[in-house]
Structure 1
């Protein structure tokens, strides 16, 4: 019985599936998690009017995410032994390792790269992710949309040439993806420079980018938890589904694909909500921040209700997009009937998470996600999956309960949140007192802010000592990479 879905065929499909299982979690936590601190810092700083500080924040993000590449490299270089350890096919594990090694030079640019043309076309690179946040938190959206479309078209063309014309196979796919990353970042960088978008915010590289890493990391690490916990839950769920049967794995894959598609629609409201809430708080406009939060919740909720009705009504037919296998289709139909209301809860949780990021309350979001998925969802879903013999329907039942409780907690938290205190924290975080002009409030009136943050502990450290600290951080990351290389050499010798 052939249970492969259409978008994952042959050698490339198998390698891509293993590569995703192996590396996506590490890529996501660096690209989305660590970069998500910019959703708070840049949006609030832009709202506070301290525009040149945005450039410093971007520099901090670049340095921190570059350091994050080293542990990623240390893990990815051991892709083959890790895949073998979880009982993957030796040939596929070797091909996946080859793919990853070829792609590794693009990792500083790409921590969630463009797929081959048989896969869904997606955004996303490391630097491109930072560029997106740099622009969107200033209210600039269309350049990155157009750049992403152009880069995806070029990526498809390059993949076609290297895979079907030159017959490079997996190697060609890796080379094409690597080239696509550089093209995407280069196009958007050229646009930013050509239009002079950077002039108002970029004052050149500054020593200030070595300061206040603690502020950035205190936001980035909880953001990483928020992003990774949910993603890892779905990845582990797919792995567990594969332990039951190929039908369960195939059905889980189709459900997750539709879940990703459904998530894209309310995500637009979530992104806009994070930006607008951050802008308003940085500008000192508490009422505007509250209004933006309400609009975000309403917009995401309305779209998700429409999607839930559509997907629920078409539950018997939507699996045809990905497979004709009757057993998988029947299983997908059963899950989709149950999954439709989950869309509403997932969109609500995403909207709440974006508002929390805009307000700089990531620790609360991280707590809600971690306890929700690993304290409630998994402990309920896994026993239902195996002991109750419900399969992936049991897993989704556990996740449904998790998201339901999570939504209640986060909505109640936002209603009871001290928005005035959040506004004060945002203005301090934005360095509003350093701005040459105050923030613009509703009604077009300008006010000079006297709010000056207390100097952090790092501000009191001499520059030489600060450089030494950052140098030690770099040395530690290089050491981690060296350990990964040594482990790889030892394991490879054992395999041979």
Structure 2
């Protein structure tokens, strides 16, 4: 792993918007070009000397993305949380039916939408970083068509959920209530999928606040819908399902209306095009591994709940409380994960290989720091944490003892979450999916089951198995991230963005493809003129004012043309009229 500040650059690199150039070489030129926001964040001179400018600037922008992203995820988490409260006031059978229906929707529909949508995160972040704006709109259209088609298998599973639940030996009455809920929820599936794509479309352009605003408004509507449908119209659990469906439709329409109102789509949307029906293979090569990556991770928690239920009601209740605590603490690494995905994808799409590594280091350190803070809070309150959910002393004691292991799990799981975000930004979901499959189901789950039942450690044994799994996965991902050939990853990102790349030194010279479809890697491509566009870093991500273009300091613009390789000048001088062979997949590997 590289030590901080050891990158050997002979010229400035662009750290992040709105900084025109940042130097990793030392404090002599560090203060040159330092903007006001970084000065405000790091007023201590010792900190500014210790932490190079590029890392300070990147930390600032990751934090500015992370804050609204965390709030947005908390607000989205509140939607089903409110439904749980209302269903709990209907009756125990209705609450159990809702819990079963919610689990069914999560492991089938929600996991499908989130998983397939991660391919959109990869493609839009890299394409927007390359400034190929038209292609961003084509990717959104393609994603929308594909995800709407996937509504059909999701609907078929939900419609037959009663038979599936009975086959899994669930109580007949609870399964019947769950079936009523999911049937009323069916209209929400397209809205969930489209909202996932709307969020990916905006946040990978650095536009975060709209999803937070609309989620806040949708929560208000959700409370009103539940109250009217459950208590005023006396529709019971069906009313809660209708309220949930209306809330998802509302949040989707609100975000769509906000995009239209603020004209956030103008630079990337040129209307529907038949190009969205082309090259689905490249999208699905990212989407299918993303789907499995999400499913493998989500399913393990549902399996854990099922195994805890085998032990008895007390262990099941304690496991449910631990999962609720975990869902809350997981919001912070989720925010950092999304920020890392955006920044890494933008950097790779802009040809900024070195800056992508800077983002990786900053995001990983930040996630570890936040996980340590959460660990200290949980350690100090673990004896009373269970009292928030129940007054049963036995359950509170189980939760308190299990939190000792969970604190370790949440630390490594936070880093694992951000590692996954980095791999998503780099388009390496396949590696993450295979690692989750082996880690959770070949290593973690067998160890957990053995400790639960044979060593009689009960749910603590399950958490020990998960701890072993996430520890091994974190070690593997960290080695992968810092030993990876990032120049090759950059080349692949540029091709996904519809560009031809000639990587020299730490930066990629790029030319925009004339077509929005992926280039043919087996043919030769002409570089049309010496004015072919060069990606000057990824100035698109704007976290200070996320709906306006960043105003750059042009005083240092000439320094951005410095070459990091003495031979690069000769390469650039011969680009005019010279045929350049595009790297093939074999050369890439």
TM-score (norm 2): 0.71
Conservation of the 8 A alpha-carbon contact between 1:286 and 1:423: yes
Conservation of the 8 A alpha-carbon contact between 2:94 and 2:177: no
Name the structure 2 match of 1:384.
Answer: 451
Identify which of 155, 171, 191 aligns with 2:258.
191
Hey, what's the Cα distance between the residues in 1 that align with 2:493 and 2:167?
A: 46
Q: CA deviation at 1:90?
A: 1.5
Name the structure 1 match of 2:147.
Answer: 65
| Structure 1: gaps spanning 5 or more residues | 110-124, 457-496
Q: CA deviation at 1:304?
A: 0.5
- Flag the structure with larger Rg: 2
Name the structure 2 match of 1:91.
Answer: 173
Name the structure 2 match of 1:120.
Answer: none
Hey, what's the Cα distance between the residues in 2 that align with 1:310 and 1:451?
A: 57
Identify which of 295, 305, 324 aligns with 2:391.
324
Q: CA deviation at 1:60?
A: 1.1
User: What root-mean-square deviation, in Å, do the aligned CA atoms of Structure 1 and Structure 2 show?
Assistant: 2.2
Identify which of 440, 455, 460 aligns with 2:536.
440
Hey, what's the Cα distance between the residues in 2 that align with 1:7 and 1:385?
A: 33
Q: Are positions 1:213 and 2:280 aligned together?
A: yes
- Cα offsets for 1:171-222 (capped at 9, x unmatched): 1111111211221111111110111111101111111111111111111111
Report the CA distance shift for 1:437/1:400 in structure 2 as closer, same or farther (over 3 A): same
Q: CA deviation at 1:390?
A: 1.2
Q: How does 1:91-490 map to 2 (within 5 A)?
A: 91-109=173-191, 125-432=192-499, 433-434=512-513, 437-441=533-537, 445=560
Conservation of the 8 A alpha-carbon contact between 1:434 and 1:452: no
Hey, what's the Cα distance between the residues in 1 that align with 2:142 and 2:468?
A: 39
Hey, what's the Cα distance between the residues in 1 that align with 2:185 and 2:434?
A: 34
TM-score (norm 1): 0.84
Q: How many residues align?
A: 437
Hey, what's the Cα distance between the residues in 2 that align with 1:65 and 1:6?
A: 31
Hey, what's the Cα distance between the residues in 2 that align with 1:368 and 1:302?
A: 24
Report the CA distance shift for 1:321/1:159 in structure 2 as closer, same or farther (over 3 A): same
Name the structure 2 match of 1:118.
Answer: none
Q: CA deviation at 1:31?
A: 1.3
Higher helix share: 1
Name the structure 2 match of 1:49.
Answer: 131
| Structure 2: gaps spanning 5 or more residues | 1-83, 500-511, 515-531, 539-555, 562-571
- Cα offsets for 1:302-322 (capped at 9, x unmatched): 101100111122111111121
Name the structure 1 match of 2:121.
Answer: 39
Conservation of the 8 A alpha-carbon contact between 2:98 and 2:177: no
Conservation of the 8 A alpha-carbon contact between 1:428 and 1:453: no
The 3-state SS of whatever aligns with 1:62 is: helix
